[in-house]
Amino acid sequence: MSPPVELTGVGASEGIVVGPAHAHLEGEVEPERTRIPEGSFDEELARFRAAVEAVAGRLRKTGENLSGSLGEDEAAIFEVHAEMADDPELLEGVEGRLRGLESPESAVLAVGEEYARELAALEDEYLAARADDVRDVARQIAVELTGGGGTGLEILEALTVPSVILARNLAPSDTARIPKGMALGFVTAGGSRTSHVSIMARSMGIPAVVGVGDALEAVLDAESVALDGGEGRVVADPDPKTRAAFDLLRARGEEERAGLDEYRLVEARTRDGRRIEVAANLGSASGAEEALSWGAEGVGLFRTEFLFMEREELPTEEEQYEAYSAAARAFGTRPVILRTLDVGGDKSLPGVQQPREENPFLGWRGIRMSLDVPALFVPQLRAILRAAAHGNLKVMFPMVVDSGEFRAAKGMLEACREELEADGVPAGPVEVGVMIETPAAALGAAELAREAAFFSIGTNDLVQYTLAADRGNEKLRHLQGADHPAVLELIRMTCEAAGEAGIPVGVCGEAAGEPDMIPRLVALGVTELSMGPPSIPGAKKIVSGL
């Protein structure tokens, strides 16, 4: 065992864990062996068949696991991958190359690439995505053949031992592949507190340290890892002394959390009697029960993107109606604020032709895209209106810069309502609010407040746009806090405008759950805080002490 190596990064999700390490490396697989000796055809073909069987079996199992936890559409992706793995034409192509004494790992990559190119050449965006699928599957078979375990190239979906995942970056599709319960924590070279992997870790309630930089390379072959997601500390191959120290810290953390338990079910009020609602940020209705158990008084941000990702076509109105109704029903009379689709930037949307952009975060995203693509926006609005009949739903629009956009979006919502009424389809009342996440919206808050039923400040984007600092850039870590005076001033202006108009103002960015930001936000006039569910008891405790 190598001596312990310590790394520091950004503590992105609290918690302490010591466990086996799993390095997830993306990129090219380059087989060392491209030729096989004469006379080894039968043996190599058998090896290839066995590898195919292993990969296809694993993919099928992942699909089955997913159909329980994430949904049928994600499961379908793995179903297709499994068919690709044991495709007879793939086998035939590889067999031919084996006869020519090419190694099976090299052959499967070559044949996979041939098919991928064929699909890509059809110039259809769906099929182009299938081309990547074929490459991915061929790569998995090659990794299986070369015994990828030792090289750390194992595929996440094959995890059978709960592990700490080490990766340069983890995309939504990577984290979606991890079987339930198999991720103990995340350590990534890139990323910040607000990148996807951090948000995911907090909602899963597992520790994460992100932005450790190139230092990660040195620990990719570690067998075990200890991490403290609060402090941003990672120790690779911890010695017994280090393990003991982490265990002690974990025990203390658990004790502290137990002390917070009594706050779960209280209604948070400051000592001078101001009521502050503490709500959850959720990505799907399946997290509702857990959020309620942490003490969520509602949902301050229900992200709808997850319905649109990792799939081959847009979700139908019916499907969205089901998902939103489930959320509405789960929270009963408690408010659930749905944010309409917010893609662009770091999230791509299969099913809509998105132009390549130099600056996606300053590009065609959020309400800009929704207003331009009725086929995207109308079914979502109709689904929200219909689902509102089953609970206390509200809706808000992302990336708004002025009241013109807000009125246009609201107008479309009203048109949908009229259409539903004309067709005799039941719809419920829906309060319409606006996200304040661009400096323009904060500066124009007074005008927006006259038209909106509530504000919700998205601090993650507000910080990024105000300080002109990419939130994924680890070199700009010092420019990623909502405590910058310029950001605080915009929040103050927003609260002032809301106060004058008599509308509530929430915060649904990461700042809402940060212990040192909560007192400031409350002092500025924020009336609702929405955060990852595990942070709720702590936030209620802080509010109660103000």
Partner 1 sequence: MSEKEATVGAEEGIHGRPAAQLVKAAKQFSSRIELVKGGRGVNAKSVLKVTGFARKGDLVTVRAEGDDADDAVETVAKLIAEGH
Question: Which residue numbers are catalytic?
Answer: 196, 508
Distance CA 429, CA 452 (A): 15
Q: Is 108 in the site for partner 1 (CB under 8 A)?
A: no
- Please name the residue that has the structure tokens 């300053």: 362
Residue of 53, 261, 313, 489 that binds partner 1 (CB under 8 A): 313
- DSSP three-state, residue 77: helix
Q: Which stretch binds partner 1 (CB under 8 A): 32-40, 121-129, 192-200, 372-380?
A: 121-129
Q: Which of 530, 449, 470, 463 is nearest to 491 (CA)?
A: 463
Phi, psi of 446 (to 5 degrees): -60, -40
Least spacing, CB of residue 75 vs partner 1, in Å: 9
- Build a one-symbol-per-residue string for 396-425: x at contacts with partner 1 by CB under 8 A, - elsewhere: ------------------------------
Least spacing, CB of residue 313 vs partner 1, in Å: 6
Distance CA 299, CA 322 (A): 17
Q: Is 115 in the site for partner 1 (CB under 8 A)?
A: yes
Residues 6+ apart with CB under 8 A from 87: none
- DSSP three-state, residue 247: helix
- DSSP three-state, residue 105: helix
* Dihedral, CA of residue 94, residue 99, residue 105 and residue 108, to nearest 10: -20
Distance CA 363, CA 301 (A): 22
- Size of interface with partner 1, in residues (CB under 8 A): 20
Residue of 53, 64, 124, 247 that binds partner 1 (CB under 8 A): 124
Please give the residues from 66 up to 95 whose contact with partner 1 meets the rule CB under 8 A.
Answer: 76, 79-80, 82-84, 87-90
User: Token pair for residue 368?
Assistant: 């800009």
Least spacing, CB of residue 124 vs partner 1, in Å: 7
Q: Which is nearer to partner 1, 82 or 400 (CB)?
A: 82
Q: Which is nearer to partner 1, 293 or 316 (CB)?
A: 316
Least spacing, CB of residue 48 vs partner 1, in Å: 16
- Please name the residue that has the structure tokens 């109606």: 321
* Dihedral, CA of residue 367, residue 372, residue 374 and residue 375, to nearest 10: -100
Q: Which stretch binds partner 1 (CB under 8 A): 115-123, 211-219, 336-344, 399-407?
A: 115-123
DSSP 314: P
Least spacing, CB of residue 74 vs partner 1, in Å: 11
Q: Which is nearer to partner 1, 313 or 372 (CB)?
A: 313
Least spacing, CB of residue 89 vs partner 1, in Å: 4
Residue of 25, 45, 70, 127 that binds partner 1 (CB under 8 A): 127
Q: Is 218 in the site for partner 1 (CB under 8 A)?
A: no
Q: Which is nearer to partner 1, 219 or 307 (CB)?
A: 307
- DSSP three-state, residue 225: strand
Q: Which stretch binds partner 1 (CB under 8 A): 118-126, 186-194, 257-265, 454-462?
A: 118-126
Q: Please give the span between the terminal C-alpha atoms of the chain, in angstroms, as a whole number.
A: 50
Q: Which residues pair with 187 in a beta bridge?
A: 166, 209
Least spacing, CB of residue 108 vs partner 1, in Å: 12
Which strands make up the sheet holding 5-8, listed edge to edge? 5-8, 233-236, 224-228, 16-24, 163-167, 183-188, 208-210, 10-13
Distance CA 299, CA 51 (A): 46
User: Sign (positive/negative) of CA torsion 435, 440, 446, 452?
Assistant: negative
Q: Which is nearer to partner 1, 119 or 387 (CB)?
A: 119
Q: Which stretch binds partner 1 (CB under 8 A): 124-132, 179-187, 325-333, 475-483?
A: 124-132
Q: Which is nearer to partner 1, 14 or 310 (CB)?
A: 310
Least spacing, CB of residue 310 vs partner 1, in Å: 12
Pairing of strands 335-339, 299-303: parallel
Q: Which is nearer to partner 1, 352 or 522 (CB)?
A: 352
Q: Which stretch binds partner 1 (CB under 8 A): 7-15, 17-25, 116-124, 469-477?
A: 116-124
Contact in structure between 82 and 20 (CB atoms under 8 Å): no
Rg of the Cα trace of the chain? 25
Contact in structure between 375 and 351 (CB atoms under 8 Å): no
Q: Which is nearer to partner 1, 88 or 355 (CB)?
A: 88
Q: Which stretch binds partner 1 (CB under 8 A): 12-20, 122-130, 388-396, 537-545?
A: 122-130
* Dihedral, CA of residue 176, residue 342, residue 505 and residue 267, to nearest 10: -20
Please give the residues from 132 up to 191 whose contact with partner 1 meets the rule CB under 8 A.
Answer: 134
Residues making contact with partner 1 (CB under 8 A): 76, 79-80, 82-84, 87-90, 115, 119, 122, 124, 126-127, 130, 134, 312-313
